[in-house]
Amino acid sequence: MDREAWNSFVTQNGPRSGSFLHSWEWGEFQKAAGTAVTRVEAEGALAQIILRSLPLGQQNAYLPRGPIFSPTLTAEQKTEFLKKVIAAAREQRSLAMRVDPADKKLEFRPAAARSATPIQPQTTLLLNLTKNEDILLAAMHEKTRYNLRLAEKKGVTVREGGTELFPELWPLLEAASKRDRFRLHAKNYYQKMLQTLVGEPSDRSSCQSRIMLADHEGEALAGMILLLFGGTATYLHGGSSDKKRNVMAPYLLHWQAMRRAKSRGCQSYDFWGIAPEDSAEHPLAGVSRFKRGFGGEVFTAPDSWELPLRPFWYTIYALAKKFTRP
């Protein structure tokens, strides 16, 4: 299956959140970042396996938001394909295969599989961009609507670009990481992403990344990496400065990102991760209040699981990891 056919299948049959993880371009980005990728396909089904390196020279197979099936497949056919995916992961000498399922529970889950912590956000917020702007604004929390209008009045502007804007985005990511206590990827991870996920804005068949920055008086105060794929715009990474927080730059940044995604034919805006309701201690609790202010529908993916493929070495590795953990 070539790139166009692969992406077309993912677009038509992929999950409501995270389809980009199975796009052809995401696999190419993983390769460019030094991670091996194996693609498995059959009639009405496909899977993109990411082979994640582990210490001690080991690796795990990871299936992000997949496998992806045609709705015409029977439960038996889906089961047989998943067995094929597991066999492909085992051929790569992976210790285990971690699965973050798509938006429908798999009919087949091996008896030896165990519950696992999701790698991707399990709960997110999806905003319907097919509605007109007045309806989108009316659905927002009053404070959110006020803050984005305030940002406009204070002279905040939003610009868009590619890799050339990364030097301005990086300090914003660092500031947010320090303030909100989350870990960043290595700097070149983002650079590889921006260099690999490129394309013409009119090309809706590929996965593309864009940088958006919100400026005030010539200074970038908030920024994001926005992914466009399959009719969905995903707020993948973002950050903001500790300066001039009173001008509310992040609010206008998201509103303009939604408007531009909508103008390019996107039907959905994915905030890519929120805390579940009543989870005040969740790492995303603070930013989730900000995101929920824009409205939208909560989407929760099925629970993740992990299947040991080399049980003896899987156990040895787990013990070694436990005793070497600081």
Query: Does residue 286 surpass a pLDDT of 80?
Result: no
Query: Does residue 282 surpass a pLDDT of 80?
Result: no
Q: Report the CATH number at residue 92.
A: 3.40.630.30
Whether residues 105 and 210 share a domain: the answer is: no
Task: Encode burial over 56-73: b for 16+ CB neighbours within 10 A, e otherwise.
Answer: eebbbbbbbbbbbbeeeb
Least confident interval from 50-54, 198-202, 292-296 = 198-202
Q: Which two tokens stand for residue 221?
A: 């105060």
Cα separation of 280 and 102, whole Å? 26
Query: Does residue 325 surpass a pLDDT of 70?
Result: no
Whether residues 87 and 130 share a domain: the answer is: no
Whether residues 172 and 281 share a domain: the answer is: yes
The confidence score (pLDDT) of residue 289 equals 92
Whether residues 71 and 217 share a domain: the answer is: no
Maximum CA extent, the chain: 63
Whether residues 34 and 105 share a domain: the answer is: yes
In order of 137, 199, 232, 319, 321, the CA distances from 252 in angstroms are: 12, 25, 19, 48, 44
Query: Does residue 39 surpass a pLDDT of 60?
Result: yes
The confidence score (pLDDT) of residue 181 equals 82
Nearest to 50 by CA among 68, 36, 69, 34: 36
> Domain total for the chain?
2
Whether residues 230 and 283 share a domain: the answer is: yes
- Note down the domain range covering 206: 123-300
Least confident interval from 117-126, 200-209, 250-259 = 200-209
Whether residues 86 and 101 share a domain: the answer is: yes
Q: Which pTM was predicted?
A: 0.94
Whether residues 170 and 262 share a domain: the answer is: yes
Average pLDDT over residues 285-304: 92
Nearest to 108 by CA among 75, 133, 135: 75
Q: What is the chain's mean pLDDT, rounded?
A: 93
Q: State whether residue 276 is helix, strand or coil.
A: coil
Q: State whether residue 51 is helix, strand or coil.
A: strand
Confidence of residue 202 (pLDDT cuts 50, 70, 90): low
Whether residues 106 and 191 share a domain: the answer is: no
